[in-house]
Amino acid sequence: MSALATVLAQAKERELHRTPVVAGDDAPLVVYFSSVTRNTDRFVTKLPVRSVRLPLKTTETAPRIDEPYVLAVPSYGRPGGAGSVPPQVVKFLNDPVSRAHLLGVLGAGNTNFGPLFCVAAEKVAAKCQVPLLYKFELMGTDEDVEKVTQGLDKFWQASMQPRA
């Protein structure tokens, strides 16, 4: 079995049994919001990363993240696209410490929304001036898992290089 096939097989196994991903301390950190429909949660738990899920309710305390991370955010727009960034994510990013450590964004959405596909991720990336790394639909496909695993690995290594 190729290394990639092994990663995908392990991902399927984790999804089936909901076993937590075992990732080393130097693995990328993904912070994400996922509503009760759990699409984004299903996607992120297939990645070989460390992850932190934001609380479902805005009344709960948002975690403070004081190390570099990538944010995965689904869109929840009203008609016309207003208010597409989930308030739980807005609350999290309103903490300057957490915001300062954001390296990039992964967008989750549904292509039924046409030009508003992953609009929340676009907004966060523009506002925080970080790259929008990838967009995926619902819980993503095996191909999305493969591309994000490889892309994130490269991005993470490049981001961790000391600046000259």
Ligand X SMILES: Cc1cc2nc3c(=O)[nH]c(=O)nc-3n(C[C@H](O)[C@H](O)[C@H](O)COP(=O)(O)O)c2cc1C
Using CB under 6 A, pick the residue from 12, 38, 64, 127 that binds ligand X. Answer: 38
With beta carbons less than 8 A apart as the criterion, state whether 50 and 30 touch. yes
Place of tokens 């070989």: 48
Nearer to ligand X, 50 or 123 (CB): 123
CA-based end-to-end distance of the chain: 40
Interface size with ligand X, residues (CB under 6 A): 22
Query: Residue 75 interacts with ligand X (CB under 6 A)?
Result: yes
Q: What is the DSSP string of 34-48?
A: --TT-HHHHHHTTSS
Residue choice 40, 45, 51, 88 for contact with ligand X (CB under 6 A): 40
74 binds ligand X (CB under 6 A): yes
- Cβ proximity to ligand X: between 5 and 56 the closer is 56
Pairing assessment for the beta strands 102-109 and 29-32 based on DSSP bridges: unpaired
3-state secondary structure of 134: strand
CA within 13 Å, CB half, 55: 10
| Residue 109 token pair | 């959405």
Q: Which of 53, 68, 76, 128 binds ligand X (CB under 6 A)?
A: 76
Under rule CB under 6 A, residue 37 binds ligand X: yes
Kindly identify the residues of this chain, within the stretch 116-155, that bind ligand X according to CB under 6 A. Answer: 116-119, 138
Shortest Cβ contact with ligand X: which residue? Answer: 109
Which residues here bind ligand X, judged by CB under 6 A?
34-35, 37-41, 74-77, 81, 84, 108-110, 113, 116-119, 138
